[in-house]
Amino acid sequence: MNRFFIGVRKINKYIVDGHCDTVLNMRDSSYNFLKLNPSFHLDLPRLKKSDIGIQVFALYIEEKFKPHFAVQRTIQLIDKFYEMLKSSKELQIIRDYEDIEDISESNKIGALLAIEGADGVFDLSALRNFYRLGVRLITLTWNYRNHIADGVSESETGGGLTKYGRKMVKEMNKMGMIVDISHISACGFWDTLKICQNNIVASHSNSKSVCDVARNLTDKQIEAIAKKNGVIGINFCPYFLNKSDEADIKDIIKHINYIKRLVGIDYIGIGSDFDGIKKTPVDLNDITELKNLKQQLKKNGFSEQEIDKIMYKNWLRVFKEVLGGP
């Protein structure tokens, strides 16, 4: 672990963000990843200005492509991800933990490829091919039902994992892919917890006890993720923070404090949802302002060790244990 930081960023300047929707920005003709884009939250100039060490880039498949064109759209977005990598010498794809260690020597920013809502993963052959293309994290559903499970917006049906969904989770375990249960129905959540042998993450979800919305996690779900040695990435969407259109860093800290008291500091990370949310909390307008969250955590009594765990160490633990490598 120590070798990872030699000669690169100081430990207190390192951040892992477990979820952004930036690849989808490329459908907008005005967006250029290589230039500053004030209308969005993340681009290369701001990544370089930020303290990001690893950014998880999620591929969200828009509803209009589901179900019949989900595979095609997933392939298109993977191509856009690789075009983004090709255009920037500062980014390096993360396939296993050895790649994470390698960026310590190259001084690059790690880019981990994820799929949000696996509608395009039509069978295990597709899953294996997406793995070959670099996908290392999959959010099983978005808000609605797919062939894997019900989404959180259809929880009243009582649907959990399908037969194929169960096979897929088991295969992800074998290959070393991270299972993400953000957006899944309650029944799907518990089905996944029973089957999954590896760490489980909720890449961009918050506490339902703090803010009672469907997308957030109950205490029992948070406790179950902790028992799986996973991570809950705190989502910056104001509505998921306080059920309104306006929020600030204090609202984020309420969720962090609640989860800390419930299960401990070891299971909390960042999952900003930048470029996937319309509004952001005050003083967290884009990826460069994550430093403001660190400062506020310190002012609220969090130790340097606790802040380091939230900002990167907890995510790195999951990457190391699931992705593997020498």
- Give the Cα-Cα-Cα angle 22, 15, 281 (nearest 5 degrees): 60
Q: Strand 135-139 relative to strand 109-116: parallel, antiparallel, unpaired?
A: parallel
Q: What are phi and psi of 158, to 5 degrees?
A: 75, 15
**276-311 pLDDT per residue, tens:** 999 999 999 999 999 999 999 999 999 999 999 999
- Please say if the pLDDT value at position 7 is more than 60: no
Match 């979820």 to its residue by tokens: 19
* Cα(109)–Cα(56) distance, integer angstroms: 11
- For residue 325, what pLDDT is reported? 64
| Nearest partner of 52 among 26, 90, 21, 13, judged by Cα | 13
| Nearest partner of 148 among 199, 198, 185, judged by Cα | 185
For the entire predicted model, the pTM comes to 0.95
Match 């037969």 to its residue by tokens: 163
**145-200 pLDDT per residue, tens:** 999 999 999 988 889 999 999 999 999 999 999 999 999 999 999 999 999 999 99
* Cα(265)–Cα(245) distance, integer angstroms: 28
**43-99 pLDDT per residue, tens:** 999 999 999 999 999 999 999 999 999 999 999 999 999 999 999 999 999 999 999
By CB atoms closer than 10 A (0-12, 13-18, 19+), residue 18 is: buried
| SS3 call for 18 | strand
Ranges of each domain in the chain: 2-323
Helical residues (DSSP H) of 88-123, grouped into ranges: 97-106
Q: What are phi and psi of 24, to 5 degrees?
A: -70, -20
Contact predicate 218/206, CB 8 Å: no
Q: Which CATH architecture has domain 2-323?
A: Alpha-Beta Barrel (3.20)
Computed over every residue of the chain, the mean pLDDT equals: 94
